[in-house]
A = this chain, B = another copy of it.
Amino acid sequence: MNNLLTNPPYLQLAIDLPDLMQVGKLLAKINSNHSRKLLLEMGTPLIKNEGIKNVVPVIRNRFPEIYLISDLKTLDVGRLEVEFSVKSGVDACVVSGLAPQATIKDFVKACKEFGVDSWVDSLGTNIDNFMNKLKTSGIRPDVVIIHRGIDEELSGVQSPWENIKKLQGYAHLIAVAGGLTLNNVNQALLNGANILIIGRAIYQAENPQDKINEFLAKID
C-alpha cells in the first residue's frame, strides 16, 4: 500500500466515457480543489480509445494531486502494462481477476516494484474461484474490486455485495462497483465496502459536482 488510502471509506469516480473531449468537459464541472475522499479512475474504454499516455496529462492538468487509478483490466503482459501506466503518472493499476495466475502475480509484483497500488477486479469471476486464485498464489493486492459489469447489470445479474464479507482479509481494502446509487450505498458500506465506485450516476447527472457532494455526504 502506497500510504495514500489510509482513511477509508472513499468515493471513486469512474470515467467510462470513451472520448477525451467529453472527459475534459466533465472535469471542468468538478471542483479542482476536490475532497481528499475523492479518487478518480480512468475507465477501460477511455484508456483503449484515447491511450493512457494522452489521458493522464489532461487529468493531471486539472487534478495534479488526485489519487488516479488506471483501470487496465489486464489479461496478459502484466508487468508491461503497469510500466507504461506508471510512466504516465498514475497511483494505482487494475488487473483482471480473470487473468492467468502468472499474469496477476507479475502485475502485483510490478506494482510493488514501481511504488503504485495493485488492484484486482473480480468482474466476471466466480467469487470462490477468485478467492482460491489469490490464496494459492500468495497474492495479497492492495485493493480488490467486487464488480458487476455494465453488460451484466443491464441483463439483470444481481448485485454481489454479499461477497464483500467473504473477501475481507484478501486485500487491504474492498471496493464495490456496478449499479451503486444514493439509495443503496449505505448497504454496501454496512457490508464493509471501503471504496464506492460510481460512474454514470455521477457523470450523467445534470450537475456532477452536486452528485459527488451527495455521495460524499454518505461517507463523511
**Taking beta carbons and an 8 Å cutoff, which residues of A are in contact with B?**
16, 18-19, 44-45, 47-55, 72-73, 75-78, 80-81, 84, 96, 98-100, 102-103, 106, 123-124, 149-152, 154-155, 157
Q: Does A103 lie within 8 Å of B52, measured CB to CB?
A: no
Write the nearest CB–CB distance from A167 to chain B, whole angstroms: 19
State whether A102 and B149 are in contact (beta carbons under 8 Å apart), knowing that A44-B75, A48-B72, A72-B48 are contacts in the complex: yes
Q: Does A99 lie within 8 Å of B124, measured CB to CB?
A: yes
What separation, in Å, do the CA atoms of A47 and B77 have in the docked complex?
13
What separation, in Å, do the CA atoms of A170 and B80 have in the docked complex?
32
Q: Does B100 lie within 8 Å of A152, measured CB to CB?
A: yes
Residues of B within 8 A of A45 (CB): 77, 80-81, 84
Residues of B within 8 A of A151 (CB): 76-78, 100, 102-103, 106
Write the nearest CB–CB distance from A58 to chain B, whole angstroms: 12
Question: Which 5 pairs across A and B sit closest by C-beta, in order of nearness?
Answer: A51-B51, A98-B98, A76-B149, A102-B155, A50-B51
Q: Does A150 lie within 8 Å of B77, measured CB to CB?
A: yes
State whether A124 and B149 are in contact (beta carbons under 8 Å apart), knowing that A49-B52, A51-B54, A53-B50 are contacts in the complex: no
Residues of B within 8 A of A47 (CB): 48, 51
Residues of B within 8 A of A152 (CB): 76, 100, 102-103
Residues of B within 8 A of A72 (CB): 48
Residues of B within 8 A of A44 (CB): 75-77, 81
Residues of B within 8 A of A78 (CB): 151
Q: Does B102 lie within 8 Å of A48, measured CB to CB?
A: no
Write the nearest CB–CB distance from A90 to chain B, whole angstroms: 12
* Partner pick for A154 among B51, B52, B55, B102, CB 8 A cutoff: B102
What separation, in Å, do the CA atoms of A44 and B48 have in the docked complex?
8
